[in-house]
Amino acid sequence: MLRATTAVLHERRSPRPRWSSVVRITTLGTSHGDHTYCRFNSSSLIEVGGRSYLVDAGEPVNGLMIRAGKTFSALRAVFITHMHEDHVGGLPDLIKALVKYPRETHCVDVFLPDPAGIAPLEGWLRAMNIRRPPDAVALRAVTGPGAVFDDGVMAVRAVPNRHMAGGRLPSYSYIIEAAGRRIAATGDLSADFSDFPAPVREAPCDLCLCEITHYPPEAAVPILATCPIRRMVFNHVHNPWHGPEGEARLIHAFASLPFPVEIAHDGDVFEID
Ligand SMILES: [Zn+2]
Ligand SMILES: [Zn+2]
C-alpha cells in the first residue's frame, strides 16, 4: 500500500512542464493557530506552468499534499510568512518527503522569514535522522523587504507586516506574480489591520489570500473598500467563522465591498485564468 502510494506521488522522472496561463491555488490548510474539527493549519499550494510553490507549511502539509494528489516532484519553493508553529510546523515532515524521494532536476528552496530559524531547523532534522542533501532542499532566509525569488515562472516579493511582536520580529506578506497575474498572500496581520500590504492597496490584485483571525471585520472594511482587488479569499479562519452560520456572518460583514469575497476550506481550489 505504502509502496504503491509513494511510487505515484514521488515519481523520479518529472513530467515535462505543461505551460498554461492558469494559476491554480489549493488552500490545503485553512485554520488559525490550532487545528479545528474542519480545518488544519495554514498551507496553500500555488500551481502554474507545471510547477508548484507553497506559501506556509503548517502541519500536516505533507499529508494534505498527498491527500490532494499533488506530486512533490513539481514543488520548487516554500515561502514561510512567519515563525509561528501553525505556519512552519509541518516543514520537517515535508522536508523528509523531499529528501526521501529526491528530484533529479532541481533543488527545492525553502525560505524562512527569520535567519535565526535555519540552524535550529537543521539541528531538529539531524536529531530525527533526516539527512538533507544540499542539492535536494536548500534552507534560505528572507532578509528583508523586496525580491525573494524568481525562477522565470513565479516571482515573489516580501512586504513586512507587524504580526510578530508588533514588528520587532520578522513577518511578511508575499506579493506573487505569475502568468501575468498578481496574487497577494497576507500571512498573519496585526490586530488593527493597518499593516495590510501596501502593494495591494496601490495596484490591481487578481486574488488576495487574506487571513481572518487577528482583526475584526469592521477594522478591515474601510481599508479594503479602497483596494483594487478583483477577488478576495479568506483563509486562516478563526473559530467564530466556522460552520455555515459563522461563514454567513463573515460574508455579511464584508458585503459592502465592491469585489467578491469567499471563504477558503481545506482542499478548496481557486483558479485564475
Ligand atoms: Zn497563524
Ligand atoms: Zn501567527
Q: For 142-190, what is each residue's pLDDT tens digit?
A: 999 999 999 999 999 999 999 999 999 999 999 999 999 999 999 999 9
Q: Identify the pLDDT of residue 18.
A: 46
**pLDDT category of residue 102 using cuts at 50, 70 and 90:** low
Find the ligand nearest to 42 CA: 1
Say how far apart CA 211 and CA 40 lie, in whole Å: 14
Ligand nearest to the CA of 41: 1
CB count in 10 Å sphere of residue 10: 17
- 21 versus 188: the higher-pLDDT residue is 188
C-alpha dist (Å) from residue 107 to 23, 86, 98, 100, 151: 22, 25, 9, 13, 12
Helix 118-127 and helix 91-100, axial crossing angle in degrees, nearest 10: 60
Nearest Cα residue to 91 out of 102, 106, 103, 81: 81
Nearest to 27 by CA among 255, 233, 246: 233
Domain 24-272 fold? Metallo-beta-lactamase; Chain A (3.60.15)
Q: Which residues pair with 237 in a beta bridge?
A: 31, 212
Average model confidence (pLDDT) for the chain? 92
pLDDT at 132 over 90: no
Across the range 45-52, mean pLDDT stands at: 97
d(CA 81, CA 57) in angstroms, rounded, equals 9
| Phi/psi at 247 (5° precision) | -65, -40
Amino acid 105: pLDDT = 75
C-alpha of residue 32 to centroid of ligand 2, in Å: 8
pLDDT digit string (tens) for 189-226? 999 999 999 999 999 999 999 999 999 999 999 999 99
Q: Read off the pLDDT of each residue in 70-85 and give the average, rounded to a whole number.
A: 96
Q: Which residues are 210's β-sheet partners?
A: 234
Distance 227 CA to ligand 1 centre (A): 23
Output the CA 63–ligand 1 centroid distance in Å: 19
The amino acid sitting at 267 is G
Q: How far is the CA of 4 from the centre of ligand 2 (A)?
A: 37
Q: What pLDDT is stored for residue 167 in this prediction?
A: 95
C-alpha cell at 188: 498573519
pTM: 0.91
User: For residue 144, with 0-12 CB atoms within 10 Å meaning exposed, 13-18 middle and 19 or more buried, which class applies?
Assistant: exposed
Looking at residue 20, what is its pLDDT?
Answer: 56
- Would you name the residues annotated as active-site residues? 86
Element (H, E) at 184: strand 181-185
